[in-house]
Chain A
Amino acid sequence: MIRFLLKGLIRDRSRSLSPVLIVAAGAFLCVFLYGWIKGAMDDLISSTARFDTGHVKIMTRAYNNLSDQMPNDLALLGVGKLMDDLRASEKGITWMPRIRFGGLLDIPDEKGETREQAPVAGLAVDLLGPDSPEPEILNLKNALVRGKLFQKAGDILISEAFAHRLGVKIGETATLIGSTMNGGLAMHNFTVAGTVRFGIAALDRGAVIADIEDVRFALDMADGAGEIVGYSKEMHYDNNAMTALTKQFNKRFEQDKDEFAPIMLSLVDQYGLREYLDLANTFGAIIVTIFVMAMSIVLWNSGLMNGLRRYGEIGVRLALGEPKGTIYRRMILESIITGFIGSLLGTLAGLAITYYLQYVGIDFGNLMQKSTILMSNVIRTRVTGWSYVIGFIPGLGASVIGTMFAGIGIYRRQTSQLFKELEA
Chain B
Amino acid sequence: MILVKTRNLLKCYPMGLRKLTALKDINLEFQRGEFCGLIGPSGSGKTTLLNIIGSLDVPSQGSVTVLDKKIEELSHVEAARLRRNHIGFIFQTYNLLLLYTAYENVEFPLLLIEMPEAKRKKKVMDALDWLGIADKADSRPAQLSGGESQRVAVARAIVKLPQLVLADEPTANLDAENSFNILEMMVKLNREINTTFIFATHDEKVIRYLRRKIHLVDGQVVKDEIVNQERGNPCRH
Contact = CB atoms under 8 A, between A and B. Distances in A.
A66 interface: no
A305 to B, nearest CB: 18
Contacts of B93: 422-423
Given A7-B104, A324-B76, A324-B80, A319 B97 contact: no
B162 to A, nearest CB: 10
Given A320-B112, A322-B80, A415-B56, A423 B92 contact: yes
B21 to A, nearest CB: 16
A132 interface: no
Contacts of A11: 99-100
Contacts of A416: 48, 51, 56-57
A419 B80 contact: no
Contacts, number: 80
A1 interface: yes
A422 B47 CA distance: 14
Contacts of B96: 316
Nearest to B109: A320
Interface string B1-32: 00000000000000000000000000000000
A172 to B, nearest CB: 83
Interface stretch (B38-46, B83-91, B216-224, B226-234): B83-91
A313 interface: yes
A147 interface: no
Interface in A202-226: none
A319 B85 contact: no
Given A414-B57, A415-B56, A415-B57, A320 B108 contact: yes
A312 B97 CA distance: 9
Interface size class of A (residues with CB under 8 A): 20 to 34
Given A416-B51, A416-B57, A419-B56, A321 B95 contact: no
Nearest to B79: A415
Nearest to A417: B57
Nearest to A410: B76
B188 interface: no
Contacts of B91: 423
Given A324-B80, A325-B77, A4 B56 contact: no
Given A416-B51, A423-B91, A423-B92, A322 B57 contact: no
Interface in A346-379: none
Given A321-B109, A414-B57, A416-B57, A316 B76 contact: no
B99 to A, nearest CB: 5
Nearest to A320: B109
B80 A321 contact: yes
Nearest to B168: A423
A58 B188 CA distance: 97
Contact of B87 (A321, A323, A414): A321
B56 A1 contact: no
Contact of B80 (A313, A316, A323, A422): A323
Interface in B147-177: 156
Given A315-B95, A415-B57, 8 more contacts: A8-B97, A312-B95, A316-B97, A317-B97, A318-B56, A319-B56, A321-B112, A423-B91
Interface of B: 48, 51, 54, 56-58, 76-77, 79-85, 87, 89, 91-93, 95-100, 104, 107-109, 111-114, 156
6 contacts: A11-B100, A318-B56, A320-B89, A321-B81, A321-B82, A414-B58
